[in-house]
Structure 1
């Protein structure tokens, strides 16, 4: 009998000293973990150094070669995983995506770094948004330098702690799937472990340099189907889509553009309309296997945890904003809608008349207004306890002084029970899941 052929032995890994910029971010953390597991010495490039293996860097200010001199001694590979999806006044795209990385790349040549891995973005070479332009400018700056480089261009990256995947899971957990009108746009999300593995393999000094690789998953889907996959992966029953017309999305994007840091803005809306797909052939060669498809993104063992996070992420704001509306609407009705004489007559029933009743009415309006604004801007467990005490106090006063309301057919007092239930849930909620 012929002896079964064994796969050729893998080439032993030569430990390298690697600087990973953006190491505290979602993608940077996954890259650091994979490189460390492979035996490399990882230096974490972060804004605030707290560990012995940390290097303090800040692309907002480190935008010249002078800023990097002396900091790259002994570094053999640099991985740039710094990236933001929405810029702010303090963190502009041009500094974080272009000028900071370009200065770092030039300093790498001067310091004798052997190879640079640049994490760009799928579509950076053709996109017209400020995000894409800044990413492409850094890619171009790197390609002009006399140094070995690899540029990886990921699509939407899925991971349990990823911002985009977290948002998509939140949308997928809603009773109806909100599906914006995107026409024929398609997406090809990639699993974060595949991105980290691609970085590890692109570092290999025996691998040819000067490649731009689309880092995409195996599944090309519409936005609606992508949400349906996430919903199924979290163990939720199928539900119907809720079409969101393009004009509504455009208006929401304009409003989001006026609020710093909001992910939906005119640029990201255009990026959604354009879709995000690529050819997985080069990534398959790099990994030595096909990338994962979206159906396998959420392992069954993680479904319950991710489902709980997704539901909690929109449940808490929904309850909070509902309470805010109740308090603010009550203040408005008391001040400007309900007849003043009728309000004063009710206060007479609890023993308040004349100037005292007027003062009590105005104080109640101010208190309701303060409670509503606090729900929006100062939510806390102490606030929920205070509101519960107020609701119980109001209920007790009405039960004693105005008992007719207990048997009122519209149930004005009984409706305090669901309000108290909401407050109990908010008091019991842990810190809201954001990642």
Structure 2
């Protein structure tokens, strides 16, 4: 069977492609075909851009001989030109219209649980627009609506995993929000089953089916986090309820920052709940979907635990380093007696008009290092610059003011763990 898959470079799409390529010929329609790691998939990949391909004519040449179209493109947050309207609505509508006119036997739309008549978020509403359009076309279709999807390489799983390993886990309100997480392997198994049961000949009747894809049963957010924590081998979870007004304020702040998963819309989706009847999925799979207690295989638990711990410890380390630079710079600007700073500079040979230039220039550089540590996303050159400055400071002071090595507060000794921490961040940045 010939299958056109969009979104093959994304989280769910990647898993779908890996499952189908051993059974069928899969054409991956992606922006960068050369970026596909699997040679079997790369050989049949075609270039496609959901930001640009918004007319059915853009898709018809790619659908020649295609039996099944699977659309797995999706974003949780808008960024730049990647908008809900473009990726969830305009391009899928063009793809679906072209599929209906090209004689495709089946269209599978990977939507989302909650894209229904009660939808309020732009994420859900854009998915619903595409779902409704597909339902009205003369082509057989299944609208797959997963709930919260867990997978070791998924963004939401990484977020919840990081939360689960915290010494004290903050939860919105009492953490009683209802969710029904499903493992990505069960989502993929459902889509493979839909493809495999397609008859060899095109169906004479067209129609659309909505398939909810939740986990086996609803759980509270608090229970889900406790389950993940136990699965990766940590002790009992301790929770810190966060009043909802503070959570909503944090969501507003998160909405203004790139890369975050919490914004007013995702919070609204969490508060609404994310549950559904599992019976249709159970019947399709011939078994119950995996429960959250089995999401993490024992052999993977140590690696996932380490990654989750680093996901919050490394940002804490970066913030600490940033504060050291910023506070040092602010103190040097005048909180520490300027005359004593000039006296120290004189002992290393810096006097006259050069003294204030060096003092205030170094202070501003320190503050700049701190701000850049907080704001920059790619920081390899920044870490190298910080290492060079600390080594330079340490060498000069060791030469001209060696008594600071014997100071009871250890001002020079503290440079050693600082260098080690920055070196570690540099190495992880390169990886």
Using structure 2 for the length normalisation, give the TM-score: 0.90
Matched, 1:186 2:178: yes
CA contact (8 A) 1:183 1:273 kept: no
Q: Distance in 2 between matches of 1:428 and 1:65?
A: 47
Q: Report how far residue 406 of structure 1 moved.
A: 4.1
Aligned counterpart, 1:30:
15
Structure 1 residues 151 and 307: CA distance shift in structure 2, 3 A:
same
Q: Which residue matches 2:24?
A: 40
Question: Could you report, residue by residue, the CA deviation over 1:16-71 in whole angstroms, capped at 9, with x for unpaired residues?
Answer: 1111111111101111122223x211111211233321122222222221222222
Alpha-carbon distance change, 44 to 342 in structure 1, aligned in 2, over 3 angstroms: same
Matched, 1:210 2:208: yes
Distance 2:130 2:405 in 1: 69
Per mean C-alpha deviation after superposition, the further-off stretch among 129-138 and 84-93 is 84-93
Aligned to 2:415: 416
Residue 19 of structure 1 corresponds to 4
Question: Which deviations, in whole Å up to 9, do the C-alpha atoms of 1:198-239 show, x marking residues without a partner?
Answer: 011122225996321110111422222212222222222334
1:10 maps to none
Stretches of structure 1 that go unaligned for 5 or more consecutive residues are: 1-15
Unaligned runs of at least 5 residues, structure 2:
35-41
1:289-327 Cα deviation digits (max 9, x unpaired): 111100000001111221222223233332222212211
Q: How far off its partner does 1:288 sit?
A: 0.7
Once the two structures are TM-superposed, the CA of residue 119 in structure 1 deviates from its matched residue by 0.8
In 2: Cα distance, 1:63 partner to 1:182 partner:
44
State the partner residue of 1:308: 306
1:378-389 alignment runs, 5 A limit: 380-389=379-388
Q: Return the match for 1:159 from 151, 158, 162.
A: 151
Structure 2 counterpart of 1:68, from 59, 62, 67: 59
- Alpha-carbon distance in 2 for matches of 1:261, 1:369: 25
Aligned to 2:96: 105
| Distance in 2 (alpha carbons) for counterparts of 1:84 and 1:381 | 28
Q: How many residues align?
A: 416
Deviation at 1:257, TM superposition (A): 1.7
What aligned pairs does 1:238-253 form with structure 2 within 5 A after superposition? 238-253=236-251
Contact 1:178 1:242 in 2 (8 A): yes
SS of match in other structure, 1:229: helix
Q: Would you say the 8 A contact 2:175–2:241 is kept in 1?
A: no
1:55 equivalent in structure 2:
46
Change (3 A) 1:17 1:262: same
What's the C-alpha RMSD, in Å, of the aligned pairs?
2.2
**Aligned counterpart, 2:135:** 143
Q: 1:5 aligns to what? A: none
Q: Would you say the 8 A contact 2:217–2:278 is kept in 1?
A: no
Q: Pick which of 157-166 and 417-426 moved more.
A: 417-426
Alpha carbons 2:164, 2:229 under 8 Å: kept: yes
Worse-superposed segment, 190-199 or 301-310 = 301-310
